[in-house]
């Protein structure tokens, strides 16, 4: 059984930067906490805990030491509050997420009704919404738009890990309803590269394996995209989740990984798949 890895797969710059900042903070000798999981990858978060980096579910759980703002970003008021508490704040917000923050803030300041294409309960979207003044409309599909909804000026910003097709669908649905539409395509290039290369590979292989956290939005979307062209797509976090029975009769297996999946984690799955054949 042969294994082929997608051209673009695995940890992106923003996640790698966040991990490096957290690892560096762990050597300071101070108490170090991340505000929520640093990234949506349980194995990486567990590895950080072994280095002494704890997770604070909320700001009330961080009274001293260093507080790391996770890659998804937060409401700027939270950073101000953390500094007022005397915490040493390390901002590990992904630069692409920061661009989405800037776009949302600009649209709100210029009087646009802000629409965010993304998951309403995702921490990244919550942060973008806060930068838009806290009153943005959040949708993933055109059907989620309010009925008979009309606005003069609408501005769109998108969660960095969403797919281009989803953004295009929402834009097409809003355009006939408004006099002016401004769109910031804030999908990060790493997300697009991984989605395109994963889809291409999934169409060429017998079985497709997507590696990454089950709680990771970008990894889940990779699995969804691959499943559309290859029903034998399997989303796993680690090699232990591989089911040998799912590879029966397979000659060529494709592997990709989400942008929040460290290389070592992907490599472990690749080695396990190769051992099956």
Which residues form the catalytic set? 124
Backbone φ and ψ for 247, nearest 5 degrees, come out as -105, 10
Nearest to 67 by CA among 93, 98, 90, 37: 90
Among the listed residues 12, 2, 25, 1, the one whose alpha carbon sits nearest the alpha carbon of residue 195: 12
Cα separation of 195 and 193, whole Å?
Answer: 6
Measured at the CA of 206, the angle between CA 205 and CA 207, to 5 degrees, comes to 95
- Tokens matching residue 83: 């500094």
Q: Give the distance, in angstroms, between the CA of residue 87 and the centroid of all CA atoms in the same chain.
A: 26
Task: Tell me if 190 sits within 8 A of 260, measured CB to CB.
Answer: no
79: Cβ contacts below 8 Å, ≥ 6 apart: 69, 89, 91
Q: Which two tokens stand for residue 208?
A: 């497709």
Residue where the block lists tokens 């906490």: 33
């Amino acid at each position: 059984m042969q294994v082929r890895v997608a051209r673009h797969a695995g940890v992106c710059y923003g996640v790698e930067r966040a991990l490096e900042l957290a690892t560096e903070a762990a050597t300071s000798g101070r108490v170090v906490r991340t505000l929520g999981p640093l990234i949506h990858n349980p194995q990486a978060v567990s590895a950080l805990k072994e280095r002494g980096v704890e997770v604070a579910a909320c700001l009330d759980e961080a009274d001293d030491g260093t507080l790391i703002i996770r890659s998804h970003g937060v409401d700027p008021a939270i950073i101000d509050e953390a500094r007022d508490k005397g915490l040493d704040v390390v901002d590990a917000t992904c630069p692409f997420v920061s661009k989405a923050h800037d776009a949302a803030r600009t649209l709100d300041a210029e009087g646009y009704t802000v629409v965010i294409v993304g998951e309403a309960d995702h921490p990244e979207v919550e942060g973008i919404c806060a930068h838009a003044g806290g009153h943005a409309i959040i949708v993933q599909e055109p059907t989620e738009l309010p009925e008979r909804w009309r606005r003069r000026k609408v501005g769109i910003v998108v969660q960095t890990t969403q797919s281009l097709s989803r953004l295009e669908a929402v834009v097409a649905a809003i355009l006939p309803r408004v006099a002016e539409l401004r769109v910031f395509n804030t999908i990060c290039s790493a997300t697009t590269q991984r989605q395109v290369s994963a889809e291409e590979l999934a169409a060429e292989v017998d079985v497709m394996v997507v590696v990454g956290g089950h709680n990771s939005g970008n990894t889940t979307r990779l699995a969804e995209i691959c499943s559309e062209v290859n029903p034998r797509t399997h989303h796993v976090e680690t090699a232990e989740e591989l089911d040998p029975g799912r590879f029966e009769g397979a000659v060529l297996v494709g592997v990709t990984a989400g942008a929040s999946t460290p290389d070592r984690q992907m490599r472990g799955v690749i080695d396990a798949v190769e051992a099956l054949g």
